[in-house]
Amino acid sequence: MTDNILKLARNNIQKLIPYQSARRIGGEHANILLNANESPTSIFFQSKKKSFNRYPECQPNNLILSYANYVDLSCNQILVTRGADEGIELLIKAFCEPGKDAIIYCPPTYDMYRVNAKIAGVEIKEIPTIKNTWQLDLLNIKLNLSRVKLVYICNPNNPTGNIILKKDLISLLNITLGRSLVVIDEAYIEFSPQESMTSYLKEYPNLVILRTLSKAFALAGIRCGFTLAKQEVIQILNKVISPYPISVPVSDIAIQSLEVNCIKLMRNRVLDLNNNRIWLINQLQNCSCVEKVFESHANYLLVKFFMFEKVFLTLWNKGIILRNQNEKINLKKCIRISIGTYLESLQLIQELKIFSEQNIFQGDISEK
């Protein structure tokens, strides 16, 4: 009987491997969580709203105004969503015909572009980035634009941490003009704000930008994101968004986080995390179990390890939870490490040095 019920699900859902979020994988009771690119420190807000018997606005005007002021855009260019993830889903829902249209995504990158397309029954054209530089393969993208409605680009890219060259993004916008939307996921842009593409929204009607309060703003727990685009795109997305996506407490806290003093605090946190990243890079490069540390412009590092699996499990058993990237295309032996507090980073390095000493003594680490 259970099998019969399961067969009621759509065929593509029966076969779907769901996105493995940090909390779904586990380790939530560990001492040091460095696997989800969250802020390692909390900020404390209290909801100013005291009654919740009425439904919220679909698109809270005060929140949109606050974010518009932050990004220097018009209110009609902004859609508020449940994290940037909902923006990914809404774009596919609004612009892609199942079984007809396609998306392009460029791994190694954020898997939710692919997963959302699979859920919707939309074809996925996989155009990997150029190995080791992680830059766009513009020629192959151009050759594969047939039936493509959306091209998803993460910048800074997750999990590699690199910046996509601005000249390449502009080239991509030009070759897709009138054919496809280019969706640039700027979830981590506060760590490299000069790389934002928001100023190009005036020039390119096919540009869409995704943003979130989950990373630099330290509000992963409230699930609040934004889609930035031309007014016409926002109007289309408003047709398919759920009636009440943003709860009253979420809207209230998000507005508070966008006040001038809180933005200043956010920028100070970013500065601290960027400094911690530089310190961590230097320390990792002195660990003999580390094969390579890739350059990063976000709040995480991609690191290639000798004996990566043993490193990952040893740290897991010590209560330090990282994100294994070994199964991703061109990321063999790689682990992603979120930037934590200085003390968390120090404990990570101490454990890696102990690991290195023990395994050098045993002769387990290969020569570089």
Looking at the structure, tell me whether residues 223 and 329 fall in a common domain. Answer: no
Q: How confident is the model at residue 27 (pLDDT cuts 50, 70, 90)?
A: low
**Is residue 324 domain-shared with residue 340, that is, in the same domain?**
yes
Is 230 found in the same domain as 90?
yes
Q: Based on the structure, what is the number of domains in the chain? A: 2
pLDDT in tens, 289-311: 999 999 999 999 999 999 999 99
Same domain, 201 and 100: yes
CATH code, 330: 3.90.1150.10
| Boundary-marking domain end, from 211, 234, 259 | 259
- Tokens for 305, please give them: 């390890």
Tokens of 137: 């393969």
Give me the phi and psi of 109, to 5 degrees please.
-160, -170
How confident is the model over 121-154, as pLDDT tens digits?
999 999 999 988 999 999 999 999 999 999 999 9
188 and 328 assigned to the same domain: no
**How far is the C-alpha of 73 from the C-alpha of 69, rounded, in Å?**
7
Which residue range forms the structural domain that includes residue 104?
61-259
Q: Which of 259, 288, 314 is the last residue of a domain?
A: 259
CATH number of the domain bearing residue 156: 3.40.640.10
Spatial contact of 187 and 154, defined as CB atoms under 8 Å apart: yes
> pTM of the prediction?
0.94
Burial class for 96, CB neighbours closer than 10 Å (0-12, 13-18, 19+): buried
What local confidence, expressed as pLDDT, does residue 28 receive? 64
In a domain, 363, yes or no: no
3-state secondary structure 285-349: CCCCCEEEECCCCCCEEEEEECCHHHHHHHHHHCCEECEECCCCCCCCCEEEEECCCHHHHHHHH
For residues 98 and 239, membership in a common domain is answered with: yes
- pLDDT tens digits, one per residue of 306-328: 999 999 999 999 999 999 999 99
- Residues 271 and 245 both lie in one domain: no
Q: Looking at the structure, do residues 253 and 280 belong to the same domain, yes or no?
A: no
Cβ atoms 207, 184 nearer than 8 A: yes
Nearest-CA neighbor of 168 among 95, 106, 83? 106
Greater model confidence, 26 or 319: 319
What is the per-residue pLDDT across 11-22, written as a single tens digit (0 to 9) for each? 888 888 887 777
Mean pLDDT, rounded, for 331-357: 96
Quote the pLDDT of residue 189: 98
Predicted local distance difference test score (pLDDT) of residue 366: 47
